[in-house]
Amino acid sequence: MRRALLVVVAMLAIASGGLLYWRSRPSDLAPPPAEAELAALRAQVDELQKRLRAAVVASGEKSLTHAPRAGLMIGIPTSFTRSILEQVVTGLFNELTLTLKNLKVHKEGVVKAKMLIRKRKLGAFVLDVQIHSVQGVLRPGAPVVTFTKNRIAIDLPVKLTQGRGNADIRIQWDSKGLAANTVCGDVDVTKAVTGGVVPQDYRVGGAFTIATSGQKITLTPDFPELAVRIFVDPSEQAWGAVDEVVKEQRKGCEIALDKVDIKAKLAEIVGRGFNVKIPKKLIRPVGLPAGVSQSLELQGLTLDLQLKSTGVLVASDRIWYGVDLTLGSAPRPAAKRP
């Protein structure tokens, strides 16, 4: 055992001496390979790369065949990217409150009735609704994420589940003619009312385009103007307030206001709905957690890396990102860490 140990030590000593001798005799370096030998080595490397690629594809990575060629290739599973985007878009719309404030709607017209042998104008009405505030809450469903050549499409179902609001209804009636003025007169009444919003289903569609730099992959949102339409649903208290206005008038005036059919007019003007815009800036770019540092620390030196993207491919299984690496300027001493 001891003899074997001595043999090993001797071999190490010979190897060490040989190394020192080689360093001290640079003239003994082998001559550079001929161009034909270099060409043969390059061909051998290419062949090995083909065999490696074929083995990887055979293992299940079929999209690698179409991935951009590069010195460094990064493959991000689309399942991982899908989960990130699903959390991003559903998180933005989860319990998102939409608010409408200071909206005004207006309706006016005239009322005619048959008196003796012909129709006569009884009066004119004006119906104003000032909505002080309406709020609705959005809840997202499960998004559909589709990977295409250079985009990731998003189709997100969103439901407006609940909401409340308050408003003032002003009803004005201007009687026309002596008979109408005698029977009814003029009316100007304002009532405070409440209401809700009608549950609605919406779909938010858009996409994320893929932008690449030397360091990372960024998904940039590309969504059209985001808007939903909220429909106000007057409460029973609102309808009761309208009935009170009519019943508080004299009998002849009540008949005239019944002809106006204030309830129908109110349902018409608020039933058109109101658009609420969702700021596009809510959806921000998403950086995928994959990239290449532009510097490398090696034995106390910092090497600058020049990164050049060779392209990106969106496949059904992976997002492939190719980068060629070259050394930049001369290495500099690495900064001392505290």
Q: What is the pLDDT of residue 8?
A: 33
The more confident residue out of 289 and 160 is 160
Quick one: tokens of 58?
A: 């055979």
pTM of the model: 0.61
92: enclosing H helix or E strand: helix 78-93
Residue 169 to residue 123: CA distance in whole angstroms: 19
The more confident residue out of 297 and 169 is 169
Section 148-166 average pLDDT = 87
Residue 29 to residue 36: CA distance in whole angstroms: 20
Cβ contacts of 318 within 8 Å, gap of 6 or more? 61, 63, 75, 76, 77, 78
Q: What is the pLDDT of residue 15?
A: 34
- Per-residue pLDDT reduced to its tens digit, 16-62: 333 333 344 455 566 777 888 878 888 887 787 777 767 666 766 66
Residue 282 to residue 209: CA distance in whole angstroms: 16
| SS3 category, 182 | helix
Q: Are 70 and 322 in contact (CB under 8 A)?
A: yes
**CB count in 10 Å sphere of residue 61:** 17
Helix, strand, coil shares of the chain as percentages rounded to 5?
35, 45, 20
Residue 19 to residue 47: CA distance in whole angstroms: 33
Domain boundaries, the chain: 1-30, 86-286
Cβ contacts of 213 within 8 Å, gap of 6 or more? 309
The more confident residue out of 50 and 334 is 50
311: left (phi over 0), alpha (psi -120 to 50) or beta: left
Asked if pLDDT for residue 264 goes beyond 60, the answer is yes
Distances (CA, A) of 266 to 99, 108, 275: 21, 11, 18
220: enclosing H helix or E strand: strand 216-222
Band of residue 144 on the pLDDT scale cut at 50, 70, 90: very high
Asked if pLDDT for residue 213 goes beyond 80, the answer is no
Section 295-323 average pLDDT = 72
Q: What is the pLDDT of residue 5?
A: 32
Asked if pLDDT for residue 270 goes beyond 90, the answer is no
Section 174-190 average pLDDT = 68
Quick one: tokens of 121?
A: 């104008």
Asked if pLDDT for residue 12 goes beyond 50, the answer is no
Q: How far is CA 203 from the centre of its chain?
A: 13
